Amino acid sequence: MSTINPGPQGFEAAIKPATAESVAEFDHRKSPLERLQHLLHEIPWLAPLLVLIASLIGFGIAVGARFFSAYALTLILQQVMITGIVGIAQSLVILTAGIDLSVGAIMVLSSVLMGQCAFVYGLPAPVAILCGFAFGAGVGVINGVLVAKVKLPPFIVTLGTWQIVLAANYLYSNNQTIGAQQIENHAPLLQFLGNTFEIGGSNGATFTYGAILMLALVLLFAYVLRHTAWGRHVYAVGDDPAAAALAGVRVNAMLISVYTLSGLICAVAGWALIGRIGAISPNSGQFENINSITAVVIGGISLFGGRGSIIGMIFGAMIVGVFTLGLNMYGTDPQWTYLLIGALIIVAVAVDQWIRKAAV
């Protein structure tokens, strides 16, 4: 019994099979601008790095070769040391779609507490430093509980604790400064992070131990956020806390841990602040909340949470340092620094909004 293999019907014969080339014609071909948008979305620190390089080149041309001296470039690291450390704390909070306005006040009162413990209560310098660390972490716990458990907005919570800690700072210290000579004679460990060492002689690079600590913390938290479960949970909570909870993330515990760690890092910055200025003053560093937010925003970390990197934040802090040093060496009015940084903040937020569309 033979089978008949009928050929294609007339209308079937008229249809030509699609080739790979014709199928490819329907693929969406991205424009160079769209490819750049996706690249910046995948690598959040790339945009601030490009701005930093452009700033260095621009001020190098305007100021001259002395701007590229080893001393001048390492001076930038010293100037952004405090902002960089506090910026790490601020970055962790903002990555969870929060904000911490109390970081500067925690830093200052932690440094004041270290001084009081060493000079008023007679505690050894290491113990005094640990007391400051414990205080910073304790304020962080309070912030975290109010945000995670009581469900208050982070802006309102940290605005309140900023005012409370700032007032407590003045009341506790009686607005009195502990001088650099007194610290050097009786508790030099408090000034340790301000000590310097040189590479390349007197005209070479000059580093402080505080700047080295800042870079070490940046690398540590860059690794933690990228390669640990805790770090991935930080991004998940910032991106969508409800989805993170459904995926098994303990959102409340995560938020409390982030704010606690933020307070602890601010206390570390308080120790670095003593080394930076040499003395312990209740009037120093109070606006680091603004400076840290500036570094975070310029560094490409989204204020909406869930996107960005610690590496970008330190690039943002260094951009501010480059503008400050460059304009100072050029001899311009210091107000131009604030004007240009303000414009850069607005541009950075606009770019972030544009980059976020790549994920839609």
What are the tens digits of pLDDT across the range 211-236?
Answer: 999 999 999 999 999 999 999 999 99
pLDDT for residue 352: 79
Mapped to the 3 state alphabet, what secondary structure does 285-310 carry?
A: CCCHHHHHHHHHHHCCCCCCCCCCCH
SS3 per-residue string spanning the chain: CCCCCCCCCHHHHCCCCCCHHHHHCCCCCCCHHHHHHHHHHHCCCHHHHHHHHHHHHHHHHHHCHHHHCHHHHHHHHHHCHHHHHHHHHHHHHHHCCCCCCCHHHHHHHHHHHHHHHHHCCCCCHHHHHHHHHHHHHHHHHHHHHHHHCCCCCHHHHHHHHHHHHHHHHHHHHCCCCECHHHHHHHCHHHHHHHCEEEECCCCCEEEEHHHHHHHHHHHHHHHHHHHCHHHHHHHHHHHCHHHHHHCCCCHHHHHHHHHHHHHHHHHHHHHHHHHHHCCECCCCCCCHHHHHHHHHHHCCCCCCCCCCCHHHHHHHHHHHHHHHHHHHHHCCCCHHHHHHHHHHHHHHHHHHHHHHHHHC
Residue 345 exposed, middle or buried by CB count within 10 Å (0-12, 13-18, 19+): middle
Per-residue pLDDT tens digits for 311-334: 999 999 999 999 988 888 888 888
Q: What is the pLDDT at residue 24? A: 47
Is 356's pLDDT higher than 90?
Answer: no
Predicted local distance difference test score (pLDDT) of residue 337:
84
Mean pLDDT of all residues in 29-51: 82
pLDDT, residue 310, reads 94
Q: Which of 159, 141, 158 is nearest to 149 (CA)?
A: 141
What is the tens place of the pLDDT at every residue in 77-106?
999 999 999 999 999 999 999 999 999 999
Are 148 and 158 in contact by the 8 Å Cβ rule? The answer is: no
Burial of 42 (0-12, 13-18, 19+ CB in 10 A): exposed
pLDDT at 129 > cutoff 50: yes
pLDDT band at 202 (very low <50, low <70, confident <90, very high): low
Mean pLDDT is lowest, of 16-20, 108-112, 354-358, for 16-20
CA atoms within 13 A on the CB side of 264: 13
* Type of residue numbered 175: N
Mean pLDDT of the region 5-34:
57
What amino acid is encoded at 75 in this protein? Answer: L
Query: What integer pLDDT is reported at residue 181 of this predicted model?
Result: 93
Average pLDDT of the chain is 88
Q: How far does Cα 35 stand from its chain's mean position? A: 26
